Amino acid sequence: MADRSLRGIRLGASSLQSEEGVVFHERANHTYVCTQCARETVLTFAADAEVPEAWECRTCGAEAVLRIGDTVVEVDHSGDKVARTHWDMLMERRTIPELEELLEERLALLRARRGTTDSARLSA
């Protein structure tokens, strides 16, 4: 290594490997059209890759759909899973009367710790 010096080369400036013997995979360009802003985005995929029907628009973040020729692919959202919220998961475990009862228990516990009672709260 002492006979080979790396002086004068900036790190990350260029690769020291050559492209001899490298065979690049075939590529194909696909166009996506945004459903909100109508912006077209061209993405490059491997020629044998399975191309998604929808992509996120780079500009507005809405759904962009694949365009093949002059036709736009219809995306079927019937099988999509709806995200469950915290409230949805809570309602799977409890009913509204149970939640009201738990709330009253917790409020009574907090009032007892503070030293206030319902009568003192109501008179104030």
Claim to verify: residue 63 and residue 97 sit in the same structural domain = no
If one counts the domains in the chain, the total is 2
21 in any annotated domain: no
Question: Closest by alpha carbon to 54, among 66, 67, 68?
Answer: 66
pLDDT at 119: 55
Q: 54 lies in a domain?
A: yes
CA distance 30 to 44: 6
Residue 9 falls inside a structural domain: no
Place of tokens 């080369």: 9
- CA within 13 Å, CB half, 32: 23
Q: Give pLDDT, residue 70.
A: 82
What is the domain-level CATH number for residue 50? 2.20.28.270
pLDDT at 50: 93
Name the DSSP class of 84: P
Position 93 in a domain:
yes
Q: Residue 13 has what pLDDT?
A: 67
What pLDDT is recorded for position 71?
Answer: 81
Decide if 122 is inside a domain.
no
40: containing domain: 27-72
> Residue ranges of the chain with pLDDT lower than 70?
1-13, 117-124
Residues 6+ apart with CB under 8 A from 94: 102
* pLDDT (0 to 100) of residue 20: 81
Question: What does the pLDDT read at residue 28?
Answer: 93
Determine the Cα–Cα distance for residues 86 and 99; give it in Å rounded to an integer: 14
Q: Which pLDDT score, from 0 to 100, does residue 117 have?
A: 63
Q: Is residue 121 part of a domain?
A: no
Q: What per-residue confidence (pLDDT) applies to 72? A: 83
Question: Which secondary structure element, helix H or strand E, spans residue 86, and what is its range?
Answer: helix 86-93
> In terms of domains, do 65 and 35 share one?
yes
Tokens describing residue 119: 């009568």
